Structure 1
Amino acid sequence: MKKGLLAALCLAAAAGCSTQGQVDPDVMQIATTPLTCSTKAECDVWWQRAQTWVAGHSTYRIESATNTLIQTTGPDGGKRALAYQITRTQNPDGTATIGFAAHCDGSMGCKPNPWEAGADFKEYVRGTTAGAPQGGAKPSQPRGPTAMHPDAMQGQSIPGTSGEAVTQ
C-alpha cells in the first residue's frame, strides 16, 4: 500500500511539472534504475559513498546522518538549490535499497537538474563514475558539482522543474 501511494504521489507531482528541455534518455535510465546493494559490506560502502556525495554536492548542510537517513536542511524559500533526503531500506531478501529524493523551492525550477543529479548520485554510489571509489575502498572526495537525480521506484524522490518534489 505504501508503494502504491508513493507511486500515485509521484505521478501526480510529475503531471503537475513542466520540463525545461528534454532529459537525455541515458540519464533518465540511470536515474530511474533502483539502487539496490546485495550484501551488508557492499551496503555499508555504498551508504558511506552516499553521505560523501551529499556532503560534496549540497548547498545545504547535512541535518541528519544515521544508518537509514541522510537529510540536508532546506530548501530555502525561492532558492533553486536542491535539498536532499537519502534513505536506506532493508528488503526482505537481505538486500537494501538506497532511495534518493531531491527538491528545491525555486519558481524557475531546480539547479542542478534533479534527474541529472540523481543519475550522478547513483553512478557515484555504485562506483561507476570516473574517480569513484572501487570495491571496499574508502570514498574519495566527490567530483565537482553536477546535477542530481532521483531514484525511481523503491520510493525515491526528485524535484520537478517547478520546484515541487517528485517521488519516483
Structure 2
Amino acid sequence: MKNKSLLAALCLIALAGCVSQGQVDPDVMQIATKPLTCSNKAECDLWWQRAQTWVASNSKYKIETATDSLIQTAGPDGGKRALAYQITRSANPDGTATIGFAAHCDGSLGCKPNPWEAGAQFKEYVRGTTAGAPQSSAAPAQAASDAMHPEAIPGKSATTPNGEAMSQ
C-alpha cells in the first residue's frame, strides 16, 4: 500500500512539473511581443548598436553576419539548447524602423534561456530600459567575432502577434 501511495505522489509531482514547464510569465510575454520600433535615424542607429552588443554578449554562437539590416549568429547546432539569433531592421514608410527578433535552438529538452525571456531581455536592453544598457551611441562593448551565448528549447518557431519569430 505504501508503494502505491508513493508512486501516486511521484506521478502527481511529475505531472505538475510538466504542466508548469512550458508556461511563460504574462509580463514577459507582453514585453517580448511588443513591437520594437525606433522613431528616427539617430535612435534607430543607437538601438541597432545596442542590438548587436546584446547579441554579442548573450549568444553562445558567434555572429556570422552584422550589416545595417541583419545581425545573425551561427547555429543552432544539432541537439544544442543554446539559442541562435536573427535580428532584422526594416525601414517603415513613415521614417521609423522596426527591429525584429527571432531566437531558436535545436535541443530536445527545450531552449536555455527561454526564447520569450530572451526576447523580453533583448527588447528592454535595446530600448535602454534595463541596467547596463548604453545610454549614448558608444561603440559595442564586444567585437562580433568574440560573440558567445548561454544555452537554450528545440527549434520550434512561433510567430508573435507582431510577426516576429520566436522559439517555444
Q: TM-score range by the shorter chain?
A: 0.7 to 0.9
CA gap 1:151/1:126 in 2 versus in 1, 3 angstroms: farther
Give me the whole-angstrom Cα distance separating, in 1, the residues matched to 2:128 and 2:42: 14
- Give the paired residue count: 139
Deviation at 1:152, TM superposition (A): 3.3
List aligned pairs for 1:1-168, cutoff 5 A: 20-134=21-135, 136-138=136-138, 141=141, 152-160=160-168
Deviation at 1:101, TM superposition (A): 0.2
- Identity of aligned pairs, percent? 74
Give me the whole-angstrom Cα distance separating, in 1, the residues matched to 2:112 and 2:130: 21
CA gap 1:146/1:133 in 2 versus in 1, 3 angstroms: farther
CA gap 1:19/1:96 in 2 versus in 1, 3 angstroms: farther
Give me the whole-angstrom Cα distance separating, in 2, the residues matched to 1:153 and 1:139: 32
TM-score scaled by length of structure 2:
0.75
CA gap 1:155/1:102 in 2 versus in 1, 3 angstroms: same
TM-score scaled by length of structure 1:
0.75
- Native 8 Å contact 2:62 2:74 kept in 1: yes
CA gap 1:121/1:20 in 2 versus in 1, 3 angstroms: same
Give the RMSD, CA atoms, in angstroms.
2.5
Deviation at 1:121, TM superposition (A): 0.1
**Gapped runs of 5+ residues in structure 1?**
1-17, 161-168
Structure number with larger C-alpha Rg: 2
- Native 8 Å contact 2:112 2:151 kept in 1: no
CA gap 1:151/1:41 in 2 versus in 1, 3 angstroms: farther
Deviation at 1:159, TM superposition (A): 1.0
CA gap 1:151/1:40 in 2 versus in 1, 3 angstroms: farther
Deviation at 1:158, TM superposition (A): 1.0
Give me the whole-angstrom Cα distance separating, in 2, the residues matched to 1:56 and 1:80: 17
